[in-house]
Structure 1
Amino acid sequence: MAAGFLQAFSSEAEQQSVSVITSDDYARRVEILDDFEQAGISWLWATDADGHLVYLSEKAAENLNKPINELLATPMTALFENDPDNPDEKSDRPFKYHMSRRSKVSDLIVRRVPQTLSPEDRPTWWMISGHPKFDDAGEFQGYRGNAKDVSVLYQRKLEDSRRAEFDALTGLANRHRMNSQLTGMLGAFKSANRSCAIMMLDLDRFKQVNDTMGHPAGDELLRQVAQRMRSVVGDIGEIGRLGGDEFQVIFPDLDDRGKLGEIAGEIVKTISDPYPINGKSATIGTSIGIAIAPYDGIEKDELINSSDLALYAAKNSGRGQFRFYSADLKNEEEERRLLIEDMRDALANEQVELHYQPVVRTDDNIVVGFEALMRWVHPERGAISPAVFIPMAEDLNLINQLGEWALRRACKDALQWPKSVRVSVNVSAVQFANSGFPEVVKNALSDSGLEPDRLELEFTERVFTGDNETIDRTFNILKDLGVRLVLDDFGTGYSSLSYLRSAPFDRIKVDKSFVDTCTQQDKNSTKIIAAIIGLSEALGMETTVEGVEAFDQLNLVCSKGAQYIQGWIYSEAIPIVEIEEKLGSGEFKIEPDGPELYQPDRRTVFRRIGAIHEDHRYDVVMRDLSKSGARFEGILGVPVGTKLVLDLGGGQLVICTVTQSNEAILDAEFETPLVCDGAGRLCTRHRVSPYDLCAAGMPLAALPPGNYPLVQDSSQPTSPPQFMQVAIGGS
């Protein structure tokens, strides 16, 4: 009992010896506060009612690398802001909003405003908590709070988040992020009636680079592609790599098809330039499909499907181009599926034949050669464009078989011509990469008996993809056979000069794109044509200028020294029967025949459109269309100077002014020029919803034909029509 008493007494004595700190002991409380701040566990801060810092822990100032006196009296929101990349921040309200609410702030991650950082400062993130302080009268006095540096943990979290949303190889957004971005964007845009465009891309011939140069080279190529796309797209869109060689670009608030076409064209051009990889050169291309919300879809899957169909159409039309989505693309994809089934039997059923386009000497208009061009005449669908079936043959691995047939047929046909006339055969990059290609050429010459120097093999820059030693070896074997080598589409790539140095070409062909623009004063095409002709002469090579269609082009290229011409001004490609008839006398001379002036954007059309005047709609037939105007017929009594709205279909409305009126035939000039749709056709920059037209006051009777369940037919024409509708035959 005595022992228990002594133990209890001892415990009570120990308690009485502890020096506790009460709320009245201000000095010791301040000491603890100092110890807390010096330990760096957390810092304290306080503001006045206007948000200016009135107190900040010394350690906090050291963390910001600023003297305490420079920080005090500074607005808290001038030092810190929300981090837009914060993966955990669900609110889009800025830090200033949180502070202005005068309510509790708990564990809010903010970053130091970048503009306050000096070159030696590091990016800093703080976790801030604070409570508003009010006086007895309820007046706000400012914030009292604590903060701590979470930079290391936060940057680690950012990196983890980035790995989840961005492609590790290219640094572009991944499929998950692009889908999330598109879904959120479309949801917000639907409520605000805003537009959004997406581009879907994949790389042409990327698999060939992977197979011939290895996967590390393929990875490096993808990185370079990503860099080039960033240089074109900039800040106006987000680029993502969906996987493999598939890419996507999202453009918020952009529905201008002219602008989108310019961007797509620049992407195609930029990606098609050669890539330096491990001391070698790789050449690829890209095809692009474009869809625009809300016209081509308002849900994510719908819009992506539309862009996919446009991409397929771009690839099926020859690759290296872009296409906008249109409703008829679904039919095109079904048509392609059916054609693929028929392609395998086309050769066996003798549906494929060769036509020959003459190459003419300008001095005397004598034909010195022919280029063999494949033609597929389908028994049900008629003529199929080579731009459609050649890529299809490559995809189906039929191009070697098709190419060998063309080579053998051309050699046999040329054997019947005078010995002064050569034949040119196009060779695809897939054929050239085949190790057995030189043997195919040798056998075609041997079986036909054609002299080797009468055969010209035409290559584009695509053949230079792959191993340089293999390419040089193949060219040397071909030259040893005695055939002539031709570089086609010269001048369209940055490395054309290096190709001339590395390959023993006998002839180069000036690309048609330079001829198309050579008569335009604001282009350098004339100088380029003259430079190419001069270069070829210096290298001892011949030059053929392709694509000459009008006399102004012919006269210009001849004045620059062109000796050989290939173009419609002399002849299109013709069947072998016509050639044999013309060559019966031993010489084939063609006089040039074509328009005086080349007009690149004028095209003949024949389709029904609508012409809207005031509150009346007339049915007319369009005869000619260009970027700047149209000719159509179907209305009588329209004075020159009359303003009309032409409905070209699919929401394409264009304001025009009548410039000529000859009875029912009218010429009109557009207020805004049309743009190219990527398929050689013309379209308006923007499209207009019928509902928008109705909301703007257009009567239902004047709207394009269709079913409009959301439009109330309350507005009827208020005046009689001023012009007379004339019935036009045809369809």
Structure 2
Amino acid sequence: MPKLPVLAVLGLSDPAEGDWGRLRGLQYSSLARLTHARMLAHALSALLVLRTLAGAVHLAFLVGWVALLVGVLIYGARFDRSLQDADRRRMSRQEIHYQTVSTAITGAVWTIPLLVFSHFADDSQRMGVWSIMSMLMAGMAVAFAAVPLGTVLFGAILGASGVLTFAIYGNWTAAAVACSFVIIVSIGSVEAARTFLGAKVAEAGMAEKAEVVSLLLREFEEGEADWLWQVDTARRVRSVSPRFAFALGDDPEDVEGKPLIQLIAGDAWESGHFHSSLHDLAERLKRRESFANVLVRVTLRGSHRWWELSASPKVDDDGNFAGFRGVGSDVTEQRESAEKISYLARYDTLTGLPNRMMLTEALGDAMRYADQWRTRCAFLMIDLDRFKAVNDTLGHLVGDQLLARVSDRLKALMTQNELCGRLGGDEFAIVIRDAADTERVNAVAEAVIQSLSLPYEVDHHTLFVGASVGSAVGPRDGATVETLMRNADLALYRSKDEGGGQHCTYEPALHAHAEERRQLEFAMRHALERGEFSLVYQPVVDATSEEVLSFEALLRWTSADHGFISPAKFIPLAEDTRLIVPIGEWVLRTACLEAVNWPAPVKVAVNVSGEQLLDPYFAETVVSALAQSGLPPHRLEIEVTESIFVRDGTTAQATLERIMSLGCGVALDDFGTGYSSLGYLRKMRFSTIKVDRSFVQGAAKDNPESLAIVRAVVAMADSLEMSTTAEGVETELELEVIRRLGCKKIQGYYFGRPMPNLEARNLFAGYGALPQQELPQGTAA
């Protein structure tokens, strides 16, 4: 809570927030409770003054002063008693004024013994009177800390009289002490009152929150519009509540285990043409970030509804991501009403930039302007590079701060002709109202890339993220807002596909690429059930004896609609859509079932993606595949790349350690081409390090860098008791170089291309029952 201002503490001003009339009542109600104690304190102090000045001041003067003091105190006490119920009502300004005047009059009466009677007294008597008055001021500051205005006013009046008296009689030290004492007492009174009011404000806030929570819970219990929902790491619905199933129009048992997006997408699940709100929801689930009040258009039994969803990630006992848990409600009526539309915010709360709605309106206005004046407008979509790595490693708080810094840089680049905003997540956009000069579009895009690529200092971290930009010019690239935004998005996809950090403009050919991608995604969703996937196996041989030691299982897809599709094309698509999880499980089970028919020493290696390792149930999948096939764990090797450690290194490492504890091997594939952090080798005991084929080819050509890298990898693996496999050996020269450099295993076309399982089994015809040492050399040649 922010520090309360001094004027608010003293009661001279009321902040805009909070019910301060009620809080003043809580302050002044303490006066009524302590009326008798205050009268007694004044009476004792007056008696002490009489005792101190007796003999020096005429008795009549002293009696007159006591009578005046008693009258003032009775007047004040009667008023203070009227404040007995102040804690149950609002305190008026007039009441505060009366109480302040009463305190000031009381203080003025108390100045008489020091200002008037001290003329007849000596220095010791004056000091005695001042001591009594100081004691009274201190007591007031402690007893009436809740009412600092009266305490400070009373102390200031008495302190001023003391300072003036001591100054008149030349006692400057005593005057300075008196001044310091009054200042200390005043500051202490203000701070004590600030603490008191802060506690009361906090109590009021807690009470209000408790009331709101109670109201929400009561509405939830009594209403029928809200429900609870949760999904697992694969975004499949789990623990379906009856109310959620009712909202879906289905039975809980029919909904359990189905993908959330499939349940609410309707026909779009089959066609692939999802509503933008579904894309937004899927992106938030993919990013594993909390979200609140996200509006999603759902399609249930052919009719469109609007849901408002909120959720937060949940973790298991080990701190691993376990899915989402949230609440939802049907807000179709509110969404379709004018009140709901006017309620929607037009600015992004995190960055302060215009949101998607306002950007869409601005683009529509720009397109009307371009049509009217026969000019052009432009729409630029911006996506941050490497932002997810920041979010995953440093947390969403740092990620949010980074997004705010990005927005500041974007705003600094804008002129009156441009408007920038945030579309959602780490996506931003710029509307250029007049883009008649096409070079201006390029200039803005290049300025964005250059500015956003500079380092950021966030929470003691130096962060580097880049930006990819896609642009479309209207009306050349689209006659409607939706078309222009979609085409800019296609250009952005191209920029990301080409490595990011660059600006790509829209070209009509991008539609063909997007349509191909959509068709492939649609076909891939049914490829498993249609049996279109298959496995081929490439042998890995001993570098010295050329015995077959293992096979690497490689996935192939021959689509009924598109024919043979290269793994370089469909594997990234499967990872983007998370279809790699069920496909990868099929690969693992099939490879184990086929490898069990090979001779006992021969292993099978299965490539595993980062999406699979982030699945908390992947280790159980491995156990199930081994148990179902009967393959011994030591004959299974899991191959991973370094990239998995960048996304969520802790989860990936924990999963791999569980797999290694089963007795399976873990190989680090394509070592040296990715992030190349030796920290991975220090943290984990890989069974094999695979040297990428680019280094093999470079070494065969006597490339110094490639030779040095291969030697270093072999030496490091030997010292760590790991094996090394050279990939992509295709010629006898490459074989000789690799043998000379010390690699223990070799894989490549020189010893065999990827082959079907039956052909792989035929390599061992007649030798299946032989022990390992009796297998003939050169089997795979």
TM-score normalised by length of structure 2: 0.42
Larger radius of gyration: 2
